[in-house]
Amino acid sequence: MLMEPARRKFGILQLKISCLVNVKLSMFSLEHLLVLLNKLDRDVDIVIEPKTKEKRLLQRML
């Protein structure tokens, strides 16, 4: 997606579009990123799972 059409679709400044393109996400809240994904007609699923036994063991080793 080009900068100007993206700016119009998202309704944000071109500077912020540039940050998105360059994956500089620290200036965006999680909520704002989810809103932008929804404007692209994307579903977002957040999955929280317990750690596996293997992951717990690896963490202890580090």
Give 22-47 pLDDT, tens digit per residue: 999 998 999 999 999 999 898 888 88
How crowded is residue 18: how many other Cβ atoms within 10 Å of its Cβ?
13
Give the per-residue pLDDT at 1: 63
Among residues 32, 30, 7, the alpha carbon closest in space to that of 18 is found at 7
Predicted TM-score (pTM) of this structure: 0.60
| Calpha distance 2→9 (Å, rounded) | 11
Among residues 2, 9, 7, the alpha carbon closest in space to that of 41 is found at 9
Mean pLDDT in residue range 10-26? 89
**CA distance from start to end of the chain:** 42
| Calpha distance 15→12 (Å, rounded) | 8
